[in-house]
Structure 1
Amino acid sequence: MKRHILAATTALALLAAGFGPAAAETVLTVGMAAADVGQLDPHRATTTQDKPVVSWMFNGLVRFKPGSASLEELEPDLAESWDKSADGLTWTFHLRKGVKFHGDWGEMTSEDVVYSLKRAADSKTSSFASDYAPVASIDAVDPYTVKIVLKQPIPALLGIVANYHGGNIVSKKAAEALGADFKIKPVGTGPFAIADYKSNESLTLVANKAYFRGAPKIDKILYRFIPADAARDLAFTSGELDVVYGRQDQRWVERFQKEKGIAVEVVQPSELALLFVNQSKKPFDDIRVRKAIAMAIDSKQIVGFKGAATAIPPVSVVPVGYLGTYNAKLYPHDVAKAKALLAEAGYPNGLELKVIQTSLPTMLNSMQIVQAQLKQAGIDMKMEVVDHQSWHAQIRKDLSEANYYSAARFPVADVYLKQFFHSRAIVGTPTAVTNFSHCSVADKEIDDAAISTDAAKQKELWATAQQKIVDDVCAVPLFEQLQVWARHDNVDYGYTFKAAIHLGPVITEATTKK
């Protein structure tokens, strides 16, 4: 049964407050490969389908330049400017004046910024709390000035205050007033505001006519959930969809590149696909079993199946192109050696590996390749396939013996290593993030690199950490998947779409549809 989370009266209130068009509407319809939204609280939104929407509704103190994922191209957003002390520990941000939150929630001030960043740093309210562990204090100097003091220097302070993950600024009044409902009724300062939600069907967003960069040229975004590939492709080719989440495979890209009036964009940053091996569950606490899994997997074959247009080989447990990525020595593909290791560990007839797997087609297809490869070495991987939202919930309860997880993060090795491989991030603990393997082998190097002020030493520590993680088989690098989106050529994003740090195109005030 469909449920409308925002009532018609709320939608009318948004219109009255300056949201939405007065005349004929320009509606941009976007199709996503998901059954439903996860949640839209920006400090909790981690799923592929949530991140693009969050980018349309929220701002950070700084932002990634639309179409870019480069640290060198970060630019002012809610902060007009900032200063830092000589020792890199004290940062002062000077806010724009007159920025309004969606609806009737008033002006954005330093009180909202302090509240948002402290909320992002709290594991009870954020999935990204570990990113803020080095922060000593966050204070409002005056209504338009915020001071952040660090315990020690960190590799990219601007990264944790950017319009990404915990850096998104929310309305303090709205978050406190709405409570649990904030996850589906979020209030930000971005170019679009949520107006309606139909479970398992769609989200509707309307233009924030009071947006500080100017009123959007698009009046409304209809974000449709279409999990079936064939149905989504048909909706796109028939013109029901203006923009579509593409399938990350060679044949899909080649097919739609031949279609007249369609632009296919394959963009960075890539999502690194890893198979996390859960060391807390027997027999995967045995390094020989983990090595056997690593050697049974053939990443070159996976890349070949995906196609060179959309996939590249992995080089480490941190994606290519991040600050600090190291070309690690990975385990070679060797089925005979894998079988020998299993026999040595007491499993001459092989063993069974039970995993919980998302039904998201692109991820399920990849895991089926891994399943076939493991089978050749005598490892029988049994998959329990569930919807994407349930999968996210279950793997965070530590219910799977291995986890296939594909992710892009802020492009610094520090963030990826802390979230996936530091013991503080182990799932099921009070400081849990996404350490599904229960890895702790490189804690010292990760911590030491985070506070190092010597760039060369920092990279050396990150390299050592990555090799230790690879050697211990905390996770097996599978492939790096570039992002694929397509649009009808009457849609102009207003920038060159080269990268999508938010896992989708950023729809801005400059985006148009003819």
Structure 2
Amino acid sequence: MKTGLGIALAALLATGQAYAAGTTLNVGMASADAGKLDPHVATSTPDKGLLHWMFNGLVRIKPGEASPEFIEPDIASSWTTSEDGLTWVFTLRDDVECHGDYGKIDAEDVVYSLQRSANADISAFAKDYSAFDSVEATGPMEVTIKLKNKIPSLLGLLVPYHGGNIVCKDAVEALGDEYQRTPIGTGPFMFAEYQPQQYVKLVANPEYFRGEPKIKEIFYRYIPSDSSRDLAFQSGEVDMIYGKQEQTWVERIKQVPGTVVSVMTPGEMSVIHLNMTMPPLDDLRVRKAVAHAISRDAMVQFKGPDVTLPAISPVPEGHLGYTADVPTYEYSVEKAKALLAEAGHPDGVTIKAIHTTLPGMLTTMEAIQALLREANINLEIETVEHATFHEQIRKDMSQVTHYAAARFPVADVYLTQFFYSPSIVGTPTAITNFSHCAVADAEIEAARVEGDKQKQLEYWAEAQRKIMAEVCAVPIVQSMQLWAWKDTLDLGVEVNGSLNLSPPVTEAASFSQ
């Protein structure tokens, strides 16, 4: 049994430690406060970005990339799989230390983590692991995963993203409810301090298995105002900022001397989910009217053509399984009004949305609100803090849900989480099916177990066609991830993307002298 209860070494380091100049990284994030800092619970972009610097998975995507083609070992040193693809055996490194005094990671921790990820009473990502039959420690440093059926990408569930983050069993059990505000991982940086609505402080992990980080502390500052965040960056108060997902922001920040602007993949796809159980959206004609009233071209121009792609399908362009061969609804105010009249609403309709106060998402929703108004569709928006937004939409409280998501780039993930009936919000197996869509269950299920790659693609394509024919949701745009940092900060890798939506701040990052 590992030793250590109570306070981690990271907390001790938070007091009285002085660092040399050029070893502190100040980050400005577009959020009012931290949400949940337990990696198996955290769902918001600001929290996922922060946790990215604190945790490892069995495998990882090479820093600076977002595509599964760049998967490489992380806590696992190697792995094998059976011919039928149902049994996977992972051999672990023997030099991965938990933060603080919680000892080395072993097979027991990995089994505990993955079982926790699959536990719907704890994990926000439990449904992702429904194909797991068993996870067992078959040796002190060996873990065997057995699947009920083939899945499109097992390794994609084991990267340090969502449920793939490996936690330290003793730390979770010792800290209890405090773990949501005191995350203990194995990554290059350790949790040190949390000041509500101000910052989370991280410090370098001196025992990190890839080497002690060159940056010694990170202040992850919560600055929800876009203008305040930009001013803090221009004045030198912060070294790195989360950008406003608009063309004008890129053009403006590029003019700041000594600035690197990064447009990263994957894009977060903004989708308007229409709750098909709530009148008037229970009428297909009204849902089609909403689709006809939204101009994707206008939204791309509004967000910026260099940083935005139009969204055609429920699966983002560029993801495995995507197809553009789906029913589409051209922008036409006249068609929208005619459909409303046919549905018995000649004077228009009112629909309501609970929405986050996050500026990037809110401006998108306000632009959609303006477009809908032209077609006599009155969209009433009730704004709430981001964590409250996530809580309320998962309680099925919103007629219209604007959700911006980046997921592991395989069609099954988007289709399962947003359009599969067991994922309907308010049900025991809920994930993020806000529309109550159930028209493509057969194709989603068939694609998961299909061994023939071409047939699998055909199932996914048919699922997308059915979802769009039923107008379960209206895809709007894919917004690329925008960050900027001082050119004196060298991240040590070329940054093309990040699945966790934050730049890869690893042990290799440093400031030039």
1:353-373 Cα distance to aligned partner (Å, 9 max, x none): 111111111111111111011
In the alignment, structure 1 residue 332 sits paired with structure 2 residue 335: no
SS of the equivalent of 1:57 reads coil
Compared CA separation, residues 346 and 479, structure 1 to 2 (3 A): same
What's the CA shift for 1:21?
Answer: 6.7
Corresponding residue for 1:197? 194
1:374-400 Cα distance to aligned partner (Å, 9 max, x none): 111111011111121211111111111
Q: 1:420 aligns with which of 405, 418, 421?
A: 418
SS of the equivalent of 1:324 reads coil
- In 1: Cα distance, 2:495 partner to 2:8 partner: 37
- In 2: Cα distance, 1:474 partner to 1:179 partner: 39
1:256-312 Cα distance to aligned partner (Å, 9 max, x none): 112210011111111111000011211211111111111111111000111112111
- In 2: Cα distance, 1:138 partner to 1:341 partner: 52
Compared CA separation, residues 69 and 246, structure 1 to 2 (3 A): same
What are the residue-to-residue correspondences of 1:382-461 with 2, within 5 Å? Answer: 382-461=380-459
In the alignment, structure 1 residue 314 sits paired with structure 2 residue 337: no
- In 1: Cα distance, 2:60 partner to 2:262 partner: 22
Compared CA separation, residues 124 and 8, structure 1 to 2 (3 A): closer
The answer as to whether partners of 2:9 and 2:101 remain within 8 angstroms in 1 is no
- In 1: Cα distance, 2:441 partner to 2:505 partner: 39
SS of the equivalent of 2:52 reads helix
Corresponding residue for 1:33? 30
1:101-121 Cα distance to aligned partner (Å, 9 max, x none): 000111100000000001001
- In 1: Cα distance, 2:14 partner to 2:327 partner: 57
What are the residue-to-residue correspondences of 1:84-483 with 2, within 5 Å? Answer: 84-327=81-324, 328-483=326-481
- In 2: Cα distance, 1:417 partner to 1:179 partner: 34
Compared CA separation, residues 74 and 347, structure 1 to 2 (3 A): same
What's the CA shift for 1:98?
Answer: 2.4
Q: 2:67 aligns with which of 70, 73, 93?
A: 70
Q: Write the letter of the residue equivalent to 1:13.
A: L
- In 2: Cα distance, 1:437 partner to 1:273 partner: 14
SS of the equivalent of 2:53 reads helix
Q: Write the letter of the residue equivalent to 2:488.
A: N
The answer as to whether partners of 2:11 and 2:193 remain within 8 angstroms in 1 is no
1:160-208 Cα distance to aligned partner (Å, 9 max, x none): 1111110110011111121111111111110011000000110000000
Structure 1, unaligned runs of 5 or more: 1-6
Q: Write the letter of the residue equivalent to 1:295.
A: H
- In 2: Cα distance, 1:448 partner to 1:186 partner: 38
The answer as to whether partners of 1:250 and 1:310 remain within 8 angstroms in 2 is yes
- In 2: Cα distance, 1:215 partner to 1:387 partner: 37
- In 1: Cα distance, 2:301 partner to 2:31 partner: 25
Q: Write the letter of the residue equivalent to 1:398.
A: D
Q: Percent identity?
A: 52
The answer as to whether partners of 1:43 and 1:125 remain within 8 angstroms in 2 is yes
- In 1: Cα distance, 2:511 partner to 2:121 partner: 41
Corresponding residue for 1:81? 78
1:18-39 Cα distance to aligned partner (Å, 9 max, x none): x977766710000000000111
Structure 2, unaligned runs of 5 or more: 1-5
- In 1: Cα distance, 2:332 partner to 2:14 partner: 62
What's the CA shift for 1:315?
Answer: 2.4
- In 2: Cα distance, 1:240 partner to 1:8 partner: 30
- In 2: Cα distance, 1:511 partner to 1:391 partner: 34
- In 1: Cα distance, 2:278 partner to 2:14 partner: 54
The answer as to whether partners of 1:29 and 1:221 remain within 8 angstroms in 2 is yes
Compared CA separation, residues 299 and 20, structure 1 to 2 (3 A): farther
1:48-85 Cα distance to aligned partner (Å, 9 max, x none): 10011111000000001001011111000000000000
The answer as to whether partners of 1:110 and 1:145 remain within 8 angstroms in 2 is yes
Q: Write the letter of the residue equivalent to 2:408.
A: F
What are the residue-to-residue correspondences of 1:480-495 with 2, within 5 Å? Answer: 480-495=478-493
SS of the equivalent of 1:459 reads helix
SS of the equivalent of 2:214 reads coil
The answer as to whether partners of 1:25 and 1:219 remain within 8 angstroms in 2 is no
The answer as to whether partners of 2:280 and 2:349 remain within 8 angstroms in 1 is no
The answer as to whether partners of 1:25 and 1:220 remain within 8 angstroms in 2 is no
The answer as to whether partners of 1:21 and 1:219 remain within 8 angstroms in 2 is no
SS of the equivalent of 2:451 reads coil
- In 2: Cα distance, 1:25 partner to 1:382 partner: 48
The answer as to whether partners of 1:120 and 1:166 remain within 8 angstroms in 2 is yes
- In 2: Cα distance, 1:412 partner to 1:228 partner: 34
TM-score with structure 2 setting the length = 0.96
- In 2: Cα distance, 1:78 partner to 1:168 partner: 10
The answer as to whether partners of 2:14 and 2:193 remain within 8 angstroms in 1 is no
What's the CA shift for 1:12?
Answer: 5.5
Corresponding residue for 1:4? none
Q: Write the letter of the residue equivalent to 2:25.
A: L
- In 2: Cα distance, 1:146 partner to 1:8 partner: 29
The answer as to whether partners of 1:20 and 1:206 remain within 8 angstroms in 2 is no
- In 1: Cα distance, 2:81 partner to 2:399 partner: 45
- In 2: Cα distance, 1:513 partner to 1:22 partner: 13
- In 1: Cα distance, 2:125 partner to 2:368 partner: 29
Compared CA separation, residues 334 and 15, structure 1 to 2 (3 A): closer
What's the CA shift for 1:132?
Answer: 0.6
RMSD value, Cα = 1.6
What's the CA shift for 1:428?
Answer: 1.0
What's the CA shift for 1:329?
Answer: 3.0
- In 2: Cα distance, 1:346 partner to 1:294 partner: 18
SS of the equivalent of 2:444 reads helix
- In 1: Cα distance, 2:203 partner to 2:297 partner: 44
In the TM superposition, structure 1's runs of 4+ consecutive aligned residues that sit over 2 Å from their partners are 7-16, 19-25
